[in-house]
Structure 1
Amino acid sequence: MEERSTLVYVSGQGRIEQPKAQPVRPKTDGIVRILLKRLGGNKMVSVVSGLDVAEEDLADLGRDLKRKCGTGGTVKNFQIEIQGDKRNVLKAELEKRGFTVKLAGG
């Protein structure tokens, strides 16, 4: 049984930092999915998920895709988010790099 502590402060020591949980790499089926996510204010984000690459390579790939699309974006939770509806550009670029790509949702 795992012991859970809710202690956050100890007199004399100060604040106790709780260890943060590391994000878990999701299982992939070999297919990269690109979906369109609508945010508030009529903004859209193209989300690339299912990439089975190392975390460092994912950051590099995200940088290359942002450059190719000419927009901003981020890499978080093993997904790449690109601002705007850039699904077709992303699909073409990822297929050129050898990935199997499907457009999902949106």
Structure 2
Amino acid sequence: MDLQDQLKNLFPDHQPSLEDETQKKEKSKFWVQDEPILCKYEKRKGKPITILEGYQGTNADLKKLAKEIKILLGVGGTHKNEQIIIQGDYRDKIMKFLQENGFKTKRVGG
């Protein structure tokens, strides 16, 4: 017997509201800002990297966002100086992921 069944036994007349469930689904994992996140491409020591700048959330949120992007792509990267640095040129995939999570993005450079 799980928790839902126990609650139904204790409160048989209670009907759960649908609003609570929809609010939980609509809530984003990250703090979404109004300003776009800049997505740049550079080469450092001959190797391509993707740099994300302009995230205005807390440092913990920046760390969480960087981790999600790294897991999604299966690549290495870091977050420092209010930037997320991803190894490789993944601008299109990163921008698509950010837009799906409610962020505005802007592509900078070629």
CA distance in 2, matches of 1:104, 1:69: 20
More strand by share: 1
**Whole-Å separation in 2 of the counterparts to 1:74 and 1:66:** 9
TM-fit CA distance, 1:59: 0.3
Asked if 1:90 corresponds to 2:94, the answer is yes
Structure 2 stretches of 5 or more lacking a match? 1-32
Contact in 2 for aligned 1:29/1:50 (Cα 8 Å): no
Partners of 1:65 and 1:53 in 2: how far apart? 16
**TM-score for the superposition, normalised by structure 2:** 0.67
Which structure has the bigger radius of gyration?
A: 2
Residue identity opposite 1:44 in structure 2: P
Correspondent of 2:51 among 37, 47, 52: 47
Map 1:1-106; keep pairs closer than 5 Å.
30-40=35-45, 42-106=46-110
Q: Which has the higher helix share?
A: 2
Structure 1: 5+ residue stretches without partners: 1-27
**TM-score, structure 1 length as denominator?**
0.70
Aligned to 1:24: none
Aligned mates of 1:101, 1:30 — CA distance in 2? 8
Q: Cα RMSD over matched residues?
A: 1.5
Contact map agreement 2:79 2:85 (CA 8 A) in 1: yes
Contact 2:34-2:104 at 8 Å conserved across structures: no
The runs of at least 4 consecutive aligned structure 1 residues that moved more than 4 Å come to: none
| Contact 2:78 2:84 survives alignment (8 Å) | yes
How many matched pairs? 78
* 2:25 corresponds to: none
